[in-house]
Amino acid sequence: MNGKLGFEYWAGRLRGPARQTLVLSRHFFQRLFQNDVFAFGDQMKEKVYLLLAMVATLGWAMTQLLFAQYMFIEDAGQSWLEKMAFLFFFMLFLGLVVVLEWDVLFPDARDHLNLTPLPVRPRTIISAKFAAFAYFVAAYTVAVSALSVFAIILFLPRWNGDTLGSLAAYAIAHVAAGAAAYAFVFLLFLFLEAVLMAVLGERIFRTVSLVLRFALTLGVAVIMVLAMTDLGAVQRTFEWIAGMRASRPAALLWWPPVWFVSIYECLIGRSSPFYQAGANIGLAAILGLALACRMAMSAGYRRLLKRAGEVRTRRHDLRRKWGRIFAAGTDRVLFRSQTEKAVFHFMSGTMRKSALHKVRLAGSLAFSLSGIMLIVGLRHVSLTSPAQAKSGIMGAPLALGFFLLLGLRSAFNIPYAAAANWAFQMTEREDRRPYYMAVKKLVLIGVILPLVAVTVVIHAGAWGAGPTALHAMYVLAWLVLFAEALFWKYSRIPFTCKVVPGKAKLYMRWLPYIVAFVLALTGLTALEKTLLAKPGRFVVFLAAIGAIMIGLEIYQRRFIYPRLAIVFEEEPEQVMISL
């Protein structure tokens, strides 16, 4: 029976475009979860399974939080608010996932290069993409509903007959409404990307896409964090929506989660003109978006095919020429050897060109900003003087810098191209210090100094030149120490080493890390306030930091750099090999 239900059975029976669509849809679906820069694909599958299990557990927790009250309170129709909150939360969560998977949604240049030589029509490629998206939405729906559906049928049907038919109706409605909501979110983001690709073209799209993804990630992260931490705001939102339902139901129908709650209510038998209108709008929106996505993706892919053979314009070449002239001038000042220069420019060039690494850093920046916004409390921000500033304001640059450095180190571990690994192996020098110094200079120039400059701009007008300069030096000193700690004995050339995913096991250690970070940030903020109270103490502080940095550098030059071999390919743990 398994053979007749498996992929190989149907792939063998189908012919022509149908078989191509099936094979490509599996390929595109796997690309949503796999990353070919990792040598161990099975490890990525394990991460996907872990993520799906976390989503299922989160679905159970959300249903317990929202619907447990209906064990004791009769549901006379008011549970539509909790259902809307449940759907909205997981719509946001899916939106965040889709933004992170943005690069593999649309047929890109790699798809073009791989598939153009094959006898595959563009229509088949687009159809296979849509089939892969349907599998993805179905997998997400199953993950969200796997446990939450049991909580739903435990709490709600008892007030609607508590029969086997009622249990089945609630289960079907829960899964179907969720599937419709998640399909809408996925198609909405897909349509946005397809339109931007078709209108802007691939080159401009890459720049606009990064900014848009950062904004979307930041917005979704802020909403989710606030929803999980500010229960009072959630309760007030519930009351406002309930008031809108009573006073202006037509205006409430502009809110997409209401459409899918309406589908939910209609399927369990609570039909009304309001729910019927909402359900009709929701179904029409899904069908309309699906058709629009199909048309936009086709237009964008044709444009990709048309521009595939075009060459760069002379204006672009001139811009690169002037850029090389400027870089040559700065290189003489920054670098002491050709090796250091080569490693630095390889790293900086990768950060400019690689969308994957840009998104990794943008995601770190978005999540750190959302956390800072929550800690600081934007409603009570005061920048009038260092003495009146909240601890969150003073510690924000340190927190932001730490997470940016952490994100940069994580991005360094993702290889850019196998050819780079081979090239550096073939040209490795006996003196390895230039390799490590290039990493330090990129961290300093690319992350630390720009963040300190932004800090100066923000505080200069309110604090004045003196306190702002002291605050900037304090931030600079600690960020440099953070960088030394994060990159201590870092023995890889960034973007070249083949890594084994999952060795860090952050999902097992995130809680003590967060607790330690919060305690450390609190202590650093208190220390800065103490120093600002008597600015003369900064001389002692900066002298101590300088002595530490000089000592670390001497120690590294004598005992670490001569012995630290460059790792070009990370070895898996023995237990991983035995399994």
Shared domain for 271 and 385, answered yes or no, is no
Residue pair 497/568 in contact by the 8 Å Cβ criterion:
yes
Q: How confident is the model at residue 260 (pLDDT cuts 50, 70, 90)?
A: very high
Q: What is the pLDDT of residue 141?
A: 92
pTM comes to: 0.69
Shared domain for 293 and 361, answered yes or no, is no
Nearest in space to 32 (alpha carbons), one of 261, 186, 148: 186
* 16 belongs to a structural domain: no
Please give the C-alpha separations between residue 4 and each of 11, 15, 24, 132, in angstroms, as whole numbers: 11, 16, 20, 21
* 115 belongs to a structural domain: yes
Shared domain for 294 and 356, answered yes or no, is no
Mean pLDDT (whole number) for 112-130: 72
**Rounded Cα–Cα distance for residues 279 and 264 (Å):** 8
* 24 belongs to a structural domain: no
Residue 266 backbone phi and psi in degrees, to 5: -65, -40
Shared domain for 232 and 105, answered yes or no, is yes
Please give the C-alpha separations between residue 147 and each of 60, 169, 444, in angstroms, as whole numbers: 5, 16, 47
* 427 belongs to a structural domain: yes
- Of 238, 271, 303, the residue that ends a domain is 303
- The pair of three-digit structure tokens given for residue 236, joined into one six-digit string: 């007030």
Shared domain for 568 and 420, answered yes or no, is yes
Shared domain for 286 and 379, answered yes or no, is no
Residue 383 or residue 200, greater confidence: 200
Nearest in space to 266 (alpha carbons), one of 495, 83, 43, 19: 83
Residue 225 or residue 182, greater confidence: 182
- The pair of three-digit structure tokens given for residue 569, joined into one six-digit string: 């390919």
Angle at 497 (CA atoms; ends 495, 499), nearest 5 degrees:
110
DSSP single-letter state for residue 568? S
Residue pair 217/366 in contact by the 8 Å Cβ criterion:
yes
Shared domain for 171 and 59, answered yes or no, is yes
**Rounded Cα–Cα distance for residues 378 and 489 (Å):** 39
**Rounded Cα–Cα distance for residues 506 and 407 (Å):** 13
- Of 243, 277, 303, the residue that ends a domain is 303
Shared domain for 474 and 384, answered yes or no, is yes
Shared domain for 272 and 359, answered yes or no, is no
Q: What is the pLDDT of residue 287?
A: 92
Q: Where does 377-505 have alpha helices with state H?
A: 391-412, 418-426, 433-443, 449-463, 465-486
Q: How confident is the model at residue 386 (pLDDT cuts 50, 70, 90)?
A: low
Q: What is the pLDDT of residue 179?
A: 93
Structural domain range at position 126 = 40-303
* 462 belongs to a structural domain: yes
Give one DSSP letter per residue of 283-307, joined into a string: HHHHHHHHHHHHHHHHHHHHHHHHH
- Of 303, 329, 363, the residue that ends a domain is 303
Shared domain for 120 and 231, answered yes or no, is yes
**Rounded Cα–Cα distance for residues 185 and 222 (Å):** 18
Q: What is the pLDDT of residue 96?
A: 77
Residue range 77-110, pLDDT digits in tens: 788 888 888 898 899 888 877 877 776 676 666 6
Residue 570 backbone phi and psi in degrees, to 5: -75, 135
**Rounded Cα–Cα distance for residues 433 and 553 (Å):** 11
Nearest in space to 475 (alpha carbons), one of 456, 503, 495, 501: 456
**Rounded Cα–Cα distance for residues 103 and 101 (Å):** 6
- The pair of three-digit structure tokens given for residue 329, joined into one six-digit string: 């001038």
Q: How confident is the model at residue 183 (pLDDT cuts 50, 70, 90)?
A: very high
**Rounded Cα–Cα distance for residues 176 and 459 (Å):** 51
Residue 575 or residue 550, greater confidence: 550
Q: How many CA atoms within 13 Å lie on the side-chain side of 538? A: 19
User: Quick check: helix, strand or coil at residue 498?
Assistant: strand
Q: What is the pLDDT of residue 547?
A: 93
**Rounded Cα–Cα distance for residues 142 and 136 (Å):** 10
Q: How confident is the model at residue 286 (pLDDT cuts 50, 70, 90)?
A: very high
What is the domain count for the chain? 2
Shared domain for 99 and 185, answered yes or no, is yes
Q: What is the pLDDT of residue 477?
A: 92
- The pair of three-digit structure tokens given for residue 555, joined into one six-digit string: 């120690």
* 342 belongs to a structural domain: no
Q: How confident is the model at residue 346 (pLDDT cuts 50, 70, 90)?
A: confident
* 14 belongs to a structural domain: no
* 479 belongs to a structural domain: yes
Tokens 């500033």 correspond to: 389
Nearest in space to 525 (alpha carbons), one of 395, 385, 389, 375: 395
**Rounded Cα–Cα distance for residues 75 and 79 (Å):** 6
Shared domain for 291 and 380, answered yes or no, is no
